[in-house]
Structure 1
Amino acid sequence: MEVTIIVPIHNSEKYLKECIKSALDQTFYDIEILCIDGGSTDLSFEIIKELREEDSRIQYIRDSNTSYGHKINLGINIARGKYIAILESDDRMCSEFIKRSYDIARASGADIVDVDFYELFNYKGKEFNCSVRKYYPNTYGHLIKKFDSFNRDSVIRGIWTALYRKEFLIKNKIQLNESKGASYQDFSFLFLVSLLSESTYHLMVPLYQYRKDNVASSVKDDHKIFEIAEECDFLKCDLEKRKVCDRNIWRLYYMKKYEAYYWNYFRLSSQARKVFMEKYMEELMDDVEQGNLRREMVNADEYQTTFLLLDDKNEFINRVTERDQYLSLTKLCYILDESKDRDLVIFGAGSWGSKIVDVLQQNNAKVLGICDNSKELQNTVKYGFEISPVEIAVKKFSNASFLIANRKNSDIMRRQLLENGIKAENILVFI
């Protein structure tokens, strides 16, 4: 047996059938699918039973423990495959995920092969896939050796987009925290596999579909206010048990901790934010007093999740509130509505511009071109369009609507369009 796909389940009936079918439809056949059910009370068992009658590669394990971490740990321990993948029960794998990851792992000897993914969502009865690039371009397509550059961007992003060598996980005793429910147990796992792997390979191809519109997702639960703190403590204890002394590793731990705290604060309702804010500030002040965090340690992005809260609490809250207005899924749906019956030119050829063009083309919207102020991007080609300077695009498509896909410079870009004769009603702003 070469590959084991672990599917942790708990009352997953809504998307479970399409999830399991995506595993069965892999072009790589030598797999087993471990469906580990933590006491579901819905039709999850019946769905798996029906599918198992069609394909014996599916194995069903029922366990009374509802912990996500427990289910993954159990799957790793009993897996027969040399490599392990994790498939969330509301997500899907693209058909080439296992084959392409496995071929790279075997050829390169990598402990981990990590791929990009799609954000999957439905809007008005239509399904959309929005591709996400996880890392900087120079980290793709080659082996990343242990400690080559262990930094904030070295930590694997998403437990479900990677193929792991089982022997590596067992040898290093890497396990998830078996806390209750299904919230953030992958925090320590992702840090440890990234730290302890001898080599990792990033593949710049989206091969996993991560569902963004599941309202029942555990990360949306407002009752789980403090679980992220427990997961950070679990990782800290693990690092201490391993006698980790490297200052760079501990610096990264504290950066990732407060990055996670910030994300947790952001996802909560306004009332829950007030409750979590007290713990956030208390631990942050303690870590500063103990010398775990120093101002010279943080860059501009890290400042937003750490010292800004201590320096100006109101500004911290205002920035989070402002960010609330730019939830990408909500804005994408807005653009899908606004793009109807319009001829569109995308102003901004960065990551968001590319994402918008991708989604609009899936909706058969009429995109005429892409423009950008960057000299480096001008005259290059994206999605079949040659990127032009905005002045040329305005002359060529004077009656079109221009969609600004750049949050930082959106006000400047809007004025630029107005000065070049584009009417205000023909200017849309995505972020």
Structure 2
Amino acid sequence: MDLNNNFIKDLITVIVPVYNVEKYLEQCVDSILNQTYKNIEIILVDDGSKDKSGQLCNEFSNKYSQIKTIHKKNAGLGMARNSGLKIANGEYIAFVDSDDWLAPQALKNLYDSMTKFNCDYCKGGFQKVNDEGHVLFENINDFQLFEGTDAKRKLLPRLIGSAPGKHDSINMSVWGCLFKHQIIMKHNLRFPSERKLMSEDIVFDIDYMQYVKNACIISKSDYKYRQNAFSLSTSYREDKFIATKKLYKYLLNKMKALDYGESTILRIDRNLFVNLSGCIFQENNRSLREARKRINIICTDPEIRSVIKKYPRKKLGLKQRIFLSLILRKQVYLLYLLAKVIN
């Protein structure tokens, strides 16, 4: 144990929030156990699962000395990750969602770049896969090193969203990354509840990145993100539009307070547009009458209309311009049809 910070040197703690994933948990845990980087501990946080997930966690803990299990009352993904952080021993922290899995070299690739370039943050790409393991989409970036203030001034805005006229965003999820435990603990960084503030990952990233000196993006896609109809990111959320507006206001106020400037505000605006599409497209399974009523609320919202009108829409691609134009013109029925087609 390192007496200076109470973390075990070179140990990677992998925190896995678990909720009703008995079908996928074994593959997830096996992929972490089979990493080529062996100096790891795994913390499984059973977030009040109603299936056999909690029982499976106990079986893994009993079988493998490097696995610990926490059972807690259901409170959501962010709170589960916080519970794992409380008992983590590693110098480094990684997060893996329990319906996903890792390629064997995932942690080693992150660790090697993290240590080689003396970074406080390292991020790789990912592959979106289906239940059969077929790759549906690959997200991979060229290697990039952000030194000094560039980590928080140039990388962080790209985690929030793309600039007008560009596709330069970097996936903001905390999975597929390696973090320094010392930074998290020194500054008491924690995740908010996604029930109170959606996109808890970017909220954590913003806070964490304020203390990062060097960061790197590696050209690997070792994280396997499962397209799962029942995951938090894809399941229907009744208050999604309200939550979207709340996140937008939070990001706007936060980044203004941190003095990030107009270019970052435009990235926040574009992030809003992406979330608005999610609000509308999730209505595809509702009745026409109910869906049109909910979509109309979005189209007539004064704040949303103001943001769209002020944004330099001519710099966007054709599909995005059409989408925003449909909102401004209150073309509720066409938006509903678009949601049906896309889904």
* TM-score in terms of structure 2 length: 0.78
CA distance in 2, matches of 1:34, 1:163: 15
The corresponding residue for 2:4 is: none
The corresponding residue for 2:35 is: 26
The Cα shift of 1:239 comes to 4.1
CA distance in 1, matches of 2:293, 2:21: 30
Question: Which one of 299, 303, 313 corresponds to residue 281 of structure 1?
Answer: 299
The corresponding residue for 2:232 is: 218
The corresponding residue for 1:68 is: 77
Query: Based on CA coordinates, which of the two structures has the bigger radius of gyration?
Result: 1
**AA partner of residue 216 (structure 1):** F
Question: Which one of 223, 233, 245 corresponds to residue 208 of structure 1?
Answer: 223
CA distance in 2, matches of 1:320, 1:96: 43
Q: Classify 1:197/1:312 alpha carbon distance in 2 versus 1 (closer, same or farther; 3 Å).
A: farther
**AA partner of residue 275 (structure 2):** A
Indicate the SS of the match to 1:168.
Answer: helix
Question: Which one of 223, 228, 247 corresponds to residue 244 of structure 2?
Answer: 228
Q: Classify 1:270/1:17 alpha carbon distance in 2 versus 1 (closer, same or farther; 3 Å).
A: closer
Tell me if structure 2 keeps the 8 A contact 1:67–1:181.
no
Question: Which one of 265, 271, 287 corresponds to residue 256 of structure 1?
Answer: 271
- Worse overlay, 249-258 or 152-161: 152-161
Question: Which one of 178, 181, 205 corresponds to residue 163 of structure 1?
Answer: 178
Q: Classify 1:193/1:231 alpha carbon distance in 2 versus 1 (closer, same or farther; 3 Å).
A: same
The corresponding residue for 2:91 is: 82
The Cα shift of 1:71 comes to 1.2
Q: Classify 1:97/1:305 alpha carbon distance in 2 versus 1 (closer, same or farther; 3 Å).
A: farther
Flag structure 1 segments of 5+ consecutive residues without an equivalent.
328-431
The corresponding residue for 1:313 is: 330
The total of aligned residue pairs comes to 315
The Cα shift of 1:37 comes to 1.5
1:294 aligned onto 2:300:
no
The Cα shift of 1:180 comes to 3.2
Tell me if structure 2 keeps the 8 A contact 1:83–1:164.
yes
The answer to which structure, 1 or 2, has the higher relative contact order (CA under 8 A, 6+ apart) is 2
1:70-124 CA-to-partner distances (Å, cap 9, x unmatched) read 11223234322122111111111111111110110011122322112222213xx
CA distance in 1, matches of 2:247, 2:80: 16
Tell me if structure 1 keeps the 8 A contact 2:299–2:328.
no
The corresponding residue for 1:129 is: 135
The Cα shift of 1:178 comes to 1.3
**AA partner of residue 312 (structure 2):** E
CA distance in 2, matches of 1:35, 1:256: 31
Flag structure 2 segments of 5+ consecutive residues without an equivalent.
1-7, 163-167
Q: Classify 1:166/1:306 alpha carbon distance in 2 versus 1 (closer, same or farther; 3 Å).
A: farther
Tell me if structure 2 keeps the 8 A contact 1:67–1:182.
no
Indicate the SS of the match to 1:160.
Answer: coil
The corresponding residue for 2:145 is: 143
CA distance in 2, matches of 1:312, 1:68: 37
**AA partner of residue 117 (structure 1):** F
**AA partner of residue 308 (structure 1):** S
The Cα shift of 1:225 comes to 3.8
Q: Aligned-residue CA RMSD in angstroms? A: 3.3
Tell me if structure 2 keeps the 8 A contact 1:174–1:189.
yes
- Worse overlay, 10-19 or 193-202: 193-202
Q: Classify 1:189/1:52 alpha carbon distance in 2 versus 1 (closer, same or farther; 3 Å).
A: same
The Cα shift of 1:11 comes to 1.8
Q: Equivalent residues in 2 for 1:293-372 (5 A)? A: 294-296=310-312, 299-301=315-317, 304=321, 307-314=324-331, 318=334, 321-322=337-338, 325=341
The Cα shift of 1:245 comes to 5.5
CA distance in 2, matches of 1:176, 1:234: 14
* TM-score in terms of structure 1 length: 0.63
Q: Classify 1:310/1:47 alpha carbon distance in 2 versus 1 (closer, same or farther; 3 Å).
A: closer
1:103 aligned onto 2:112:
yes
CA distance in 1, matches of 2:300, 2:208: 29
Q: Classify 1:157/1:239 alpha carbon distance in 2 versus 1 (closer, same or farther; 3 Å).
A: closer
Indicate the SS of the match to 2:219.
Answer: strand
CA distance in 1, matches of 2:76, 2:110: 28
The Cα shift of 1:211 comes to 0.9
Tell me if structure 2 keeps the 8 A contact 1:259–1:305.
no
1:385-428 CA-to-partner distances (Å, cap 9, x unmatched) read xxxxxxxxxxxxxxxxxxxxxxxxxxxxxxxxxxxxxxxxxxxx
CA distance in 1, matches of 2:210, 2:266: 13
Tell me if structure 2 keeps the 8 A contact 1:258–1:306.
no
Indicate the SS of the match to 1:51.
Answer: helix
Question: Which one of 222, 243, 267 corresponds to residue 282 of structure 2?
Answer: 267
